[in-house]
Each structure stands twice: as structure tokens, then as C-alpha cells.
A and B are shown apart, each in its own frame.
Chain A
Amino acid sequence: MEVTVKTAKQLRLTEEEFELIKQKLGRTPNFTELCAFSGMWSEHCSYKNSIKWLKTLPREGKKMLVKAGEENAGLMDIGDGFGVVFKIESHNHPSAIEPFQGAATGVGGIHRDIFTMGARPIASLNSLRFGNLKEAKTQHLLAGVVHGIGHYGNCFGVPTVGGEIYFEQCYHTNPLVNAMSVGIVKNGETISATAKGIGNPVFFVGSATGKDGIGGASFASADITAESAEELPAVQVGDPFQEKKLLEACLEVIRTGAVVGMQDMGAAGIICSTAEMSAKGEVGMRIDLEKVPTRQKNMKAWELLLSESQERMLMVVEKGREAEVQRVFDKWDLPCSEIGEVTNDGILRFYMHGELEAEIPANDLVLGGGAPQYTREYKEPAYFEKIKAFNADSIDVPADLKAVAEQLITIPNIANKRWVYVQYDSMVGAGTATTNTPSDAAVVIAKPTNKGLALTTDCNSRYVYAEPFTGGMIAVAEAARNIVCSGGQPLGITNCLNFGNPYDPQVYYQFVHAIKGMSEACKKFDTPVTGGNVSFYNQNPDGAVYPTPTIGMVGLLDNVNAKMTMDYKAEGDLLFLVGTSRNDINSSEYLHKIRNVEFSPAPHFDLEEEATLQNKIAELIKAGVIASAHDTSEGGLFVTLLESGFNRNLGVDVKAAKGEIRKDAYWFGEAQSRVVVSVKPDKVDAFKKVIGNHPYEQLGQVTSGAIKIDGSDWGTIQSWKEKYDTAIENLLAGHESEHALSAL
């Protein structure tokens, strides 16, 4: 078959890229070689349109044990001789087409990134975005994605401890499925994804290879269209039982000391793992493709190179110690084949029954090597005019605030997500410390130490849409605030940057400015970016999704028992708002969902103010003067006050502070940098001493169940809890509550 520029275009390479390949090879590639470039130079593997800006993120810190992006996941020191390994990754495109397998394999893939480094995954989180929950399509996607995440994670045996879900129209065609995994590794037991040692054997371990997922990486690098469903084979199929065995076998084989390097096979399968491991070790590989165990007959060389069959690893083993490795995989009944060896000339050579099928310098394929890097144009999005034009005075303050609050509490973005999370095993591992005593971040015991890891994923993408720079800062700030409110110290972040088509200058503007905002905030909170992933092309003919830079943050508690919780403890405890109330309804759920305003600026945010607040909260916790801490977020102060009451059925009697602030802004506004704390009466003096000059407002006190707002009776915590708990379930069951979600 003759390879031409037309072939290249069919494989989603550009004309310029085809020329570049010819130049690098000094000849026209054959079809198999072109396929290798197509996979490796896809957006998904090469980061060609994002790397320039990713490099501007703060990627260094004292506690980082590997450089950002150098390994499959970030690794940070937590003391006591242990490290935490973590990463977040998207599986948006597969989930849009086949939600169950798409989400399941997203979970499987991110766990492999963790245990390929020698760490045992101990927790997972996920960040999900869907369209309007009233629509059948959304309900189908939600059910499939949640089932897929549960199916994989529950069987694999890692608890799903946290996450977030938002429903917005812009995600109707392009749902976002971001999965994060967090693992623990003993210092010195980590394994690098580097091939070393000329003559060392290369092993292929794990599941047999089939035709599933061929071209998945390039599939994820294009917009979703009506024809996308025809690309179904581009979606992989997961087998969590196989991955569970692979996990145990990999951790066991690492302990033999016979493993030189290891990398999981994710996007672009064998070609990606051989190229990246070889390029990093500045070596080459000879691979005999017919030795790869297959589950389909007559697979061609290019199919073997690009297949994204799940639960597979590439492993370089010390020569002479093959039998030790074989023994471990035999024990776990997993295929383990020697498929080649490390060579000295930096060239990958793939043979099939002795025939040379492809010959490519490893470095030409990879990011940082020969893969192209582009500088993209950007310009201010046209819709910014509408955002700047918003005037809050055009929105009248409703007379019946209670009715508004009743609507607010049933908005799916705010209501209880229990329909989702009860389908996840959140307690396996017996280390989830926030099941019985909830905190703003999930807290997991870092066994075998007595430390705690505080984990969260955050991104309010409407804020990023409104103002990419500020929204990017808020995403990081909110994550850090959640960690701090749970008693942890922010350590570092991993990010999943979900955007539209990078060739659209207005989309790229969002990308660039969100990154700039994240950078500022990460520097302020001393939370380096340890790695992550970029997902472009979350776009369809109707437009792009909200720019969604999901932040996965890890924090550390030196003693897990020092955790701070978010629930009120007793009637009579006093309530304070730490921070400043603002006359601000911008981009709130209230303004967007109930008052139907699509365009308004991001809510008030000041990075200095936020950092001061977080330091003060940490100080209050350390001093032992507060009984609970919960930050205000979607739904504003009123929702925050309720949420802290649900766990123990305690109510509040609170009054708005005197001032010029409109009532809807006071109770439902989403100005940032505010935390509600409860204080035992005998600790009030101590509290005031610690808080010093920091701004705060006294709100009122905790009641045995009654909800009193500004002196009027708003019912009981039980009745609010009932609405909050059942809103999503009622919507899914088809019967809407009397407070119909008409505004949605």
C-alpha cells in the first residue's frame, strides 16, 4: 500500500506533519510507521498544542520526588519514609459514545499510572460533567458513567472517596469524565518508566491484545460529531479483575528487584510505551510482535502497535532474572511474554515473523523529542462583551427568599449526590476517615503510617467561562480551601484541562488565561503541578464546553486524628462567618439557574485575601477553638449553613449582618474566601483571640433542628434534608417535586 499525504490526513496528521515525518526518517514512512506517528503525534499523546503553556505552570517544590511530567504520575514526600503518587486523567470522548466502558476504562487507566510506579492505589476520586439532568440522554450517560466507575473501582478494590458532578447545558454532547487515583509507596520502592541496559529483555505482561481501542488516542483528538458513534471500536473494554491481578503481580514483581523499568499501556498502546521508555533511557528496542499474546487472529503489525486493549504493561527486566518475573506472573495466572530486548542505537524496530515492519528512532515519536510543538493564536472571546455588560441592579431582590432557597436546594448541582456515590464502594481499604465524620475534603489514612491524606477535586467551570484567569485561580483556591478546612496542608496538584478545539482562537484564549490563573494560585499556595492531562476537542457543532480545568489536590495531615469536620456538633454552639460578606450574585447558581442569567462575571475573588483566610482557618484548627469548618461554595451561605446541619440533624438560627448588602447576595451569593465555623460557647473568647483582626461576622447559633433566618421560621432541618436528599432521585424517577425545577 502506497503511503501518501491522503493516508496521513485519514490518520489525522496534517500535511506539514507528514512532511516533517519524511524529513525525520529521510524517506516516506510505510503504513505501519505512519500509524505509529499518528498515535504518538496525536494531541492526546504529544500535547503538541498545550505543552508550551503547560511548561509555564509552577512545577517545582521541595517535596516533589520526581519532576513534573517525567513519570506516569506525580510523586511527593509525605514523611515517615513514604510518598504519595497521584494523577488525574480524562476519558471524555469514550464516555460520550459508550458511557459504561468509557468511564470504566478511565478508572482502570488512571490506577495503572499509579501502580506502574510501584505504588498501591488507596483512593480514587472523579469529576463529572453532564448536560441537563431532565433530559433522557443525560440520564442515560449519567447512569452508564456511574455504573462504569463503580463496576471497575468496586471490583478493583480501591475506594471512591470523593469528587464532584455538575450539570450544565454545554456538556450535553460532550460529557466530561475525569478520574483521579492516589497511591502510597515506600521510598526506594518506586519504579521508573525508563528502559535501560543493552540486551535486557522486554516483557509484555497482562491481558492479551485485541483490536479494541485502535486509534483511541487520535479519536480523542477530534471534535465529537454525529458520526462519532461509528468509531465505537475506538472505545476500549475493561476487565477490573484482570487489573486487580496485574496490580498485585506488579507490586510483587517489583519487590524481587529484577525489574529495571515499567510503563503501563494506555493511549497508543505498545508504540507509546516502547517509544517513551526507550526515549527516556536513550536506548532502542527490538520487538517481535508475533510474541505479543493476542485474543484475535491475524492482527496486523499496525493494529498490534496501536491497540488500546486494557490491563497491559511493558516491563524491562534484568537479563538473567527472567525466571523470577515469570514465577510471579504464573502465580497470578497472567500472560507474561518476552517480546524483545533493549538495543543500543535508539531505534525502535518492530518485526513480525522475522520481517521488519517498522523502524523509527524512538526520540522522533515522543513529546520533548521529535513530536511537533505548536504556538497557537488566541483572541478574546466575543461573548465577553455580554459578561461585561451584566448589571446586578437589573435583577430585583425577590420578596420571598424562602421560596428561592427551596428551589436552590433542589438544583442538581447543589442537591445531595447520594444516588451516585452509594453506587461506589467508598470504604474498601478501611481507611476512609470521612465516612462517619464528613469534612470538606475526603480524608484517607495513609496506611501503614498514621498520617492522613486530604483529597479533593474542584472546578467551577462557569466561573472559568466568565473570567478564565480568575476562574482558574478560584479552582485552585477552592481545592486548597477544602484541604485546609479538613485540617490538611495543601501539598500539590494534578490537573485535567478540559477545553474545546485548540484551533479556535477564542477557545485557546480560555486555555491560556486559565493556565495563567492556575499558575498564580499554585504559587501562592505552594502547590506545584505534579502532572495531569489535557483534553481538547470537547466540542461539537454547537460549540465548546465551558473551559474546565479540573484541579485534583492532595493535602497532608501529620496525624489523621487531627482532622477537622464540617458538621455542627451541638445545639447552642455559636456560628461565625470567617471572611467578608459581599454584595455579589455573579455567576452564582442562584443567578444562573433561578434568575436565568447566562452571562455575568466571576464572583468576587482576591488571591491575597484567600491566602490570609486559609492561614487563619489553619490557625483556628490548630488552636482547637472551632468545632466545625465548612467553606461557602455553590448556593452560597445559606446552603453552607444547611449542609453542616444535615449529619446530626441540627438547625441554625442566624441573622444577616447589618449593611448595604442585598439579601439575595447575602444568602445565595458565591463570593469566594468565606468559611462558616461553629464554636463551643466556652471557646468563644479563645476563638476571638486567635482570629484577631481578621474579618468575621457573628451569624447566630446552632439549634436542635429549627431553621430560623433573620428571625423568620424556615421550617426544620429534617424538611430541608428531605428536599436536598431526594431531588436528584425524584428527577431520575421522573416525578418532579412541587418545587419544580422550572428554571433549569
Chain B
Amino acid sequence: MKFGVVVFPGSNCDRDMQDALQNDLNQEVIMLWHKDKDLSMFTKDDCIVLPGGFSYGDYLRCGAISRFSPMMQSVIEFANKGGKVLGVCNGFQVLCESHLLPGVLLRNANQQFICKNVHLIGVGADRPLKIPIAHGEGRYYADDATLDKLEANNQVIYRYCNEQGEITPQANCNGAARNIAGICNEARNVFGMMPHPERATSEALGNTDGRIILQSLIMGVNAVVTEKAALVNF
């Protein structure tokens, strides 16, 4: 399995993602330029990552322009054929704007950018994960019917929770609908999340919970889930 990380002109977590996957998780990574279109080196088992940042400045709605970039046309095609796609932060916003995932990301409830460690809990996980967030527009929103459907299909992969793993209103850092931090599509090959697992994969930073999230992407392919915290049924 290999990873392709898309570089938009305003991406600023692209190298962090590359670092985390290559150096901390020992994966093969290919960087992809937004003006290119070629994804022929990737198979269905591979994963394209849309990293965090401000893809085209995001002075309009975040991700609204990226959707029309040449590379995104290929990524959309890749996803529709069943290829894996992960969007983190701005990448999640791009996936929603591209209609690869339902819903939208609105301005945080407090109307401010928020950067801090938060806790996430996956479905069936045995403990919460400590992962940083850094976004101004991360409040997940969809209508009730969509949210009900997401829940019924087990598509909500992460929710904001407190240190004890309880999903409470106080732990809902940005005011997201039903504390949603990350979701996947119905076919379970496209994933989006606001928190940044790539910022929590190194001992030197004092937090390696992010490895569990990225590892589960890799393990999902091999159908091996050894650590219960990673149980997100990708």
C-alpha cells in the first residue's frame, strides 16, 4: 500500500503528513501537485490524502475552489472507483465541497480559530485518543435525516469526547452536530476528519495517539485490527 499526498498551493500540513507516514509509520509516500491529473500509479488499495491548510487561500468557503482543481477531478474519479481517500482538516472540507462526503463544515460555534488538544472516541474503541485540532471552520453540520443515516450506517467514525471518553456538550470543541469529528462515506472508502492525526505520531512531540488513526487506515487493508482504540471499521 502506498500514499499520495496532494499539495495545493496553500496546503501547509502536506509535509507533516508526509513526515508522519514516511518516517513514523514507514509508508511509501508520493507527493501530488494540484495542477497534475495523473493517478495511474495508484491502485484501489492505495490511499490519497488531502492534507490540512488553506488550499487556495480559502477566502471563499473553505475548499470551495479546490473542488475544481485538476487533481481533484482525478481524486473524485479515484474515489468513485473505490480507491481510498483521507481528508484531514482542510482536506475534510474539500471532500465535503466535492460531495464525496455529505454535510458541510461551518465556522466554529465561538466564531474563532481553535488550536488545542482534544479527545476523540471511535465506535467501539476502548479509550479516547488525544489529537490536536487547528481550524476556524470545523463545525460539522448536516440535516437530521443525513445525520440519522450516517449513524445508522455506522459512518460516524470519530466524536469529540472528554478525557474519560464521554461524549458531552462541553467536549464539543467547535459545536459540531452530534459531536461529530470525522465521518466516512457509505462505501467506506472516503474518510474525513477535522483533527490532525499527523501531529501526534512522534515521541519527540510527546503524543503518538495519531499513529493509531493512521495505522488503522493501513491495517484496514490487511484486515488486521490489533489495537481496540483503532477500531473504526474503515
Contacts and interface: CB of A to CB of B under 8 A. Distances in A.
Interface string B31-44: 00001000000000
Interface string A221-260: 0000000000000000001111011001000000000000
B115 A427 contact: yes
A198 interface: no
Contacts of B57: 155, 239-242
A240 B54 CA distance: 10
B56 interface: yes
Interface stretch (A337-345, A430-438, A520-528, A718-726): A430-438
B198 interface: yes
Contact of A244 (B9, B59, B115, B207): B9
Given A423-B112, A426-B115, A155 B206 contact: no
Given A245-B9, A435-B205, A436-B207, A423 B115 contact: yes
B136 to A, nearest CB: 8
A422 interface: yes
A429 B205 CA distance: 11
B91 to A, nearest CB: 14
Given A432-B205, A437-B206, A157 B116 contact: no
A512 interface: no
Contacts of A333: 9
Contacts of A248: 9
A156 B12 contact: yes
Contact of A427 (B53, B59, B112, B132): B132
Interface string B199-215: 10111111100000000
A428 B113 contact: no
Contacts of B203: 561
A428 B206 contact: no
Contacts of B58: 155, 241
A394 B48 CA distance: 71
Contacts of B16: 428-430
A282 interface: no
Nearest to A436: B206
B198 A423 contact: no
Contact of A425 (B20, B134, B205): B134
A427 B52 CA distance: 12
B117 interface: yes
A240 B136 CA distance: 15
Contacts of B193: none
B105 interface: no
B205 A433 contact: yes
Given A244-B54, A435-B132, A435-B206, A427 B9 contact: no
Interface in A134-150: 147, 150
Given A156-B12, A430-B16, A436 B117 contact: yes
Contacts of A445: 204
A36 to B, nearest CB: 33
B70 interface: no
Interface of A: 147, 150-151, 154-157, 239-242, 244-245, 248, 331-333, 422-433, 435-437, 445, 447, 560-561
21 contacts: A147-B112, A150-B113, A154-B115, A155-B10, A155-B54, A155-B58, A157-B12, A240-B57, A244-B54, A422-B113, A423-B112, A427-B196, A427-B199, A429-B16, A430-B20, A433-B205, A436-B206, A436-B207, A437-B206, A445-B204, A447-B19
